[in-house]
Amino acid sequence: MNEINNSTSKPQNLIGNSWVPAQSGRVLPVVSPIDGATFAEIPDSDAADVDLAIAAAREAFETGPWSKLTAVERGRLMLKLSLRILEEKEALAQIETKDNGKPIKQSRTDMIMAARYFEFYGSAADKLHGEVIPFMNNYDVAMYREPHGVVAVILPWNYPAQQVGRSIAPALAMGNTVVLKPSEDACLSALRIAELAVEVGFPAGVFNVVTGRGETAGKALTEHRGVDFISFTGSPEVGTLIQIAAAKNYVGCTLELGGKSPQIVFEDADLDAAIPVLVNALIQNAGQTCSAGSRVLIHRPIFDQVVAELKLRFEAIEVGPSGEDDVMGPLISAKQKQRVERYIAESDQPIIAKGRIGSNTPSDGFYVAPVLFGPCNPNSRIAQEEVFGPVLCVIPFKDEAEAIAIANGTDYGLVASVWTRDGARQKRVAKALLCGQVFVNNYGAAGGVELPFGGVRKSGHGREKGVIALHEFSRIKTVVNYFG
Ligand code: NAD
């Protein structure tokens, strides 16, 4: 094994526990959203690099030491990694903030979450059992749960470290090996976590990372015949391509895609509790969260009151570089900034309020002031499409039936919240909503590693988080034993 590089000062691909440049020698610049400056380079990998990574992952899965470890031993390694992430929390958070632009407070939380995923799934590695199925006399039927084999994990840039934990920890817990293609826009924390995995003793080929662009490295990975399962988090457009690639190779996939998640506020809601959450559910991570609560549906009798409160809060939001304060940070890239600004400029819906960009903000950073739109036509473009930026739409509704119709009236279905003190209404509305998670009188619940997460329709399919993710990252074999 090569001596391990410092993964963040001279990033390379991690293949079979060795750091290697792209076979082509090509690199991509790493740009900080805080000031738009290039501060590192990553391999611009392609099919040749993916071939190497898959070969390493295949060998580790079939013949390497990983294949001989018990579930308890796998779990112990994962717990060690969890502790190392916590030890390195501050350094990792600094990397994340420079690479992704998110406020340092958020990055610290993300590292705790990344560690928590390895803790949760490391502890679960030996606890998902098979079953014995009653069948005919003189038969013994056992249902085993087995790993898929080599799992391709493709991730976006918005919660880079957390998403490593969310997708890779359950895959490893079930005994798979992994080839990760993190986002070309933010991948340094993923490389560093992989480096820590090597440090705590993960055998060669178990956790491989290939950096690069989606249309080259990502495409080569998803279309590779050596991949047994794909875990994809990203946009619906790319999710469709992933699903086609998976279908051609007859492998399964989970798709964690976008959202246009509604927060529904009824007239009997506890507004003191709701208002700060309504705002934070959107502006956290500058609106770049798949489960961002980007539509607030408000019961007509309290519409003006809630809007007045939201207006005050939006006008008080200051956007700036990612210090300790509760500032909202920049967007990930110049491209994303232009995309969000275009949505704002092209919308024909009224603007209620805007935040402001702080005076000390670097002019070449990718900052966008948050915008509160409303009252919005629920069918308008800004209220239908995922902006993935700090844009919140408020929409009035007259009764429960209309609230549900508006909430379910986009192509997406990821998360929703319901704010009401009426217990029967809480249950009725939660049941009627088309999505994967409903929060009643709260939102997001601090990440919730334990809580199964995923979407319906354009938000994707399959579930990550929770024990259920272990089902996704494994498959069932039934053994029918006749002993008569
Ligand atoms: P994206 O789809 O552009 O990219 C995601 C990943 O896919 C990146 O690593 C990219 O390089 C790769 N990729 C791009 N083209 C590819 C191709 N042809 N083949 C294989 N891989 C390819 O998404 P993004 O801009 O990085 O992230 C934003 C999107 O992700 C939003 O829609 C957001 O809602 C979604 N997202 C969803 C979740 C969730 O859990 N549901 C979480 C975070 C982000």
Per-residue pLDDT of 343-362, as tens digits, reads 999 999 999 999 999 988 99
Which of these, 213, 167, 223, lies nearest to 193 by C-alpha position?
167
Mean pLDDT for the stretch of residues 140-154 = 97
Residues 393-409, mean pLDDT to the nearest whole number: 98
Q: Angle of helix 104-124 relative to helix 160-173, nearest 10 degrees?
A: 0
Distances in whole angstroms, Cα of residue 442 to Cα of each of 417, 439, 475: 7, 6, 35
Query: Who's near 232: CB < 8 A, 6+ residues apart?
Result: 153, 154, 222, 238, 239, 242, 253, 254, 255, 256
- H/E stretch holding 400 reads helix 400-407
Helix-strand-coil percent breakdown of the chain, rounded to 5? 40, 20, 35
pLDDT at 229: 98
The preferred substitution site among 235, 255, 435 for testing ligand 1, maximizing ligand atoms within 8 Å of CB, is 235
**Beta carbons of 425 and 440 less than 8 angstroms apart:** no
Amino acid 359: pLDDT: 87
Of the candidates 313, 306, 292, the one whose C-alpha atom is nearest the C-alpha of residue 419 is: 306
Q: Which amino acid is at 101?
A: G
Tokens representing 67 are 């294949």
Comparing CA positions, the residue from 48, 143, 41, 161 lying closest to residue 95 is 161
Q: What is the pLDDT of residue 10?
A: 82
Residue 290: active-site member: yes
Residues carrying CATH 3.40.605.10, the chain: 13-257
Choice among 134-138, 274-278, 294-298, 442-446 with the minimum mean pLDDT: 442-446
Q: Among residues 119, 223, 256, 386, which one is catalytic?
A: 256
Percent of the chain at pLDDT above 90?
A: 94
Q: What separation in Å is there between the alpha carbon of 238 and the centre of ligand 1?
A: 6
What CATH number should be reported for the domain whose range is 13-257? 3.40.605.10
pLDDT tens-digit readout, 86-104: 999 999 999 999 999 999 9
Mean pLDDT across the stretch 318-345?
Answer: 90
**Block residue for tokens 């309290």:** 302
Atom of ligand 1 nearest to the CA of 455: 41
**What residues are in contact with ligand 1 under a 6 Å CB criterion?**
154-158, 181, 183-184, 213-215, 218-219, 222, 233-235, 238, 241, 256-259, 290, 386, 388, 414
Provide the pLDDT for residue 280: 94
Ligand 1: residue of 238, 255, 463 to mutate (most ligand atoms within 8 A of CB) is 238
For residue 300, give both structure tokens: 């007509």
> What are the residue ranges of CATH 3.40.309.10 in the chain?
262-449
- pLDDT of res. 11: 93
Model pTM above 0.85: yes
Spacing, Cα 331 to ligand 1 middle (Å)? 15
Q: For position 300, what pLDDT does the model report? A: 98
- The class of domain 262-449 in CATH terms is alpha beta
| Banded model confidence at residue 3, pLDDT cuts 50, 70, 90 | very low
Tell which wins on pLDDT, 471 or 323. 471
Q: Is the pLDDT of residue 4 over 50?
A: no
Q: Which residues contact 67 (CB under 8 A, 6 or more apart)?
A: 60, 61, 175
